[in-house]
């Protein structure tokens, strides 16, 4: 079985992916981490690299082809990515939703604790919300243009979890329950 995790920034995709991988003993992959690594290799923040990717289709295609190939050649893994579910159609597709204010608080806290090297410095939750809205808009328009899909189309998901008021462990439990139901 392959599990793909999609969701808004700050919804807990990375945390849930890591907990789920540990619990199941499966490898995990993050398309966001790959995107961030590519940004760092170019000496850019994720926001700067996202702007570059708006004019360079090859950036998204490299990431998307990586996801597709993993889905064709491996099994029993977890992947988080905005549209990984589109490239691994036989996966258990999970979408993590979150209230925008809570997401901004999580991202700001994470950034102040050392966070991701590819993220810009944020001063307030409003800074985070502005940056995330811009990133979401950019990704949404590219995914529609390249693939004709809405990245957050909940009708394509097998499970939708609102993470606003529950722990990552509770999210993992819901995913494991859904895995049992899907067998």
DSSP assignment string, 88-107: -TTSEEEEEE--HHHHHHHH
Domain tally for the chain?
Answer: 1
Secondary structure letter of residue 29 according to DSSP: E
Q: Note every long-range contact of 53-59, with CB atoms under 8 Å and residues 24 or more positions apart, other chains counting.
A: 53/138, 53/142, 54/138, 54/142, 57/142, 57/146, 59/35
Identify the DSSP state of 161.
Answer: E
CATH code: domain of residue 25 = 3.40.50.300
Distance CA 78, CA 40 (A): 24
Task: Supply the range of the domain harboring residue 51.
Answer: 2-178
Q: Give every residue of the chain whose pLDDT is below 50, as ranges.
A: none
The pTM for the full model equals: 0.86
**Which residue from 77, 95, 76 is spatially nearest to 85, judged by alpha carbons?**
95
Asked if residue 183 is part of any domain, the answer here is: no
Half-sphere exposure of 49 (CA within 13 A, CB side): 21
CA distances to 15, 124, 176 from 107, in Å: 12, 10, 26
Alpha helices per DSSP H over 13-166: 13-24, 31-41, 46-53, 57-73, 84-87, 100-112, 125-147
Could you count the other beta carbons within 10 Å of the beta carbon of residue 148? 8
> Is there a domain that residue 132 lies in?
yes
pLDDT, position 5: 97
64-113 pLDDT tens trace? 888 999 999 999 999 999 899 999 999 999 999 999 999 899 888 877 77
Half-sphere exposure of 30 (CA within 13 A, CB side): 16
* pLDDT score at 115: 65
């Amino acid at each position: 079985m392959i599990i793909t995790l999609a969701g808004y920034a700050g919804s807990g995709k990375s945390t849930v992916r890591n907990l789920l991988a540990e619990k199941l003993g499966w490898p995990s992959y993050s398309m966001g981490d790959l995107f961030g690594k590519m940004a760092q290799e170019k000496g850019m923040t994720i926001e700067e690299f996202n702007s570059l990717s708006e004019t360079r289709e090859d950036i998204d295609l490299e990431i998307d082809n990586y996801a597709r190939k993993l889905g064709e050649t491996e099994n029993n893994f977890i992947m988080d990515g905005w549209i990984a579910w589109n490239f691994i159609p036989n996966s258990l597709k999970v979408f993590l939703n979150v209230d925008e204010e809570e997401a901004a608080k999580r991202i700001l806290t994470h950034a102040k604790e050392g966070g991701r090297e590819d993220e810009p410095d944020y001063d307030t939750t409003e800074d985070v919300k502005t940056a995330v809205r811009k990133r979401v808009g950019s990704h949404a328009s590219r995914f529609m243009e390249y693939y004709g899909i809405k990245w957050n189309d909940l009708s394509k998901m097998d499970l939708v979890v609102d993470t606003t008021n529950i722990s990552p462990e509770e999210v993992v439990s819901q995913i494991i329950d859904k895995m049992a139901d899907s067998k």
